[in-house]
Structure 1
Amino acid sequence: MDTSTNSQLASLRQSLESRLSALQAELLAAQRARGAAQDEPEAGDTKDLADRLQHDELDEAQVHRELGAMAAIEAALRRVDDGSYGDCIDCGEPVGLARLQLLPAASRCAACQGLHESRWSRRSE
């Protein structure tokens, strides 16, 4: 990592750990809310049922996003521990402090991230 003083690395680690804790709390709250919703009586008509199904789908998408974010953060923390944090996983060049401060779980430099995203967008066409 080109940036790193120990205090910068400690600050980035703290950002990662704080975000991970927040995501874990959000997932726990969502699980509790789903449990409470399942205890509610079934919807009365098709509009109520459609609303509930749509809400469930949105909840599921949110959980999926949060799990993905948690996986990225956990991977970043492993890179901190093994000394590779801040190095692009594709080209090996430094990611850059400004990018890491904005996105502490970033695993790629901006150039490689752009290439990665363009490859994925072509696959989905």
Structure 2
Amino acid sequence: MSTNLTPGQHALLESELRLARQRLQAALQAEREGSDRLAHAAALVEADPRELREHEADRELDQARDEHLLAELQEIDDALMRLKLPTYGRCIDCGAAIPFDRLQRQPQALRCLDCQTAAEAAR
């Protein structure tokens, strides 16, 4: 069962996914460079317990941001792999075609809006 995407729509979605991937990689690189600077600054700070706690909190926040960016990057990579399959753009729950406007806003979408709403309500 293939989707109703035209070759032009398919190409547009691939381009959007690749651009999103580049933006995420740049954000992750910037985040890691910022973390490196914080780690270096922490090494230079005297052993003031308050400052050390602040640096530890900053490191935890950086790690959480890294994990979020990595998860988003994985979603994009998964979508790029699915894009090669004839079932890309089909809801994984009901099999209905995901509308192009939804895919254009979120090309990594796995579900149609109804199934996504139901999945979120079930959480």
Q: TM-score, normalised by structure 1?
A: 0.85
For 2:35, the equivalent position in structure 1 comes to 34
Q: How many residues are paired up?
A: 119
Query: How does 1:66-81 map onto structure 2 within 5 Å?
Result: 66-81=69-84
1:111 aligns with 2:119: no
Residues 72 and 43 of structure 1, relative CA distance in 2, 3 Å threshold? farther
Q: Secondary structure at the match of 1:35?
A: helix
For 2:25, the equivalent position in structure 1 comes to 24
* Distance in 2 between residues matched to 1:53 and 1:114, nearest whole Å: 37
Runs of 4+ more than 6 Å apart: none
1:92 aligns with 2:101: no
Deviations 1:41-89 (A, max 9, x none): 1365333233222222221121111111111111111111112211111
Is the contact between residue 38 and residue 55 of structure 2 (CA under 8 Å) also seen in structure 1? no
Structure 2 regions of 5+ residues with no counterpart?
none
Query: How does 1:44-55 map onto structure 2 within 5 Å?
Result: 45-55=48-58
For 1:57, the equivalent position in structure 2 comes to 60
Structure 1 regions of 5+ residues with no counterpart?
121-125
Q: Percent identity?
A: 32
Deviation at 1:118, TM superposition (A): 1.7
Q: Quick one: which amino acid aligns to residue 101 of structure 1?
A: Q
Q: Secondary structure at the match of 2:84?
A: helix
Is the contact between residue 24 and residue 73 of structure 2 (CA under 8 Å) also seen in structure 1? yes
Deviation at 1:95, TM superposition (A): 1.1
Q: Quick one: which amino acid aligns to residue 10 of structure 2?
A: L
Q: TM-score, normalised by structure 2?
A: 0.86
Q: Which moved more, 1:29-38 or 1:96-105?
A: 29-38
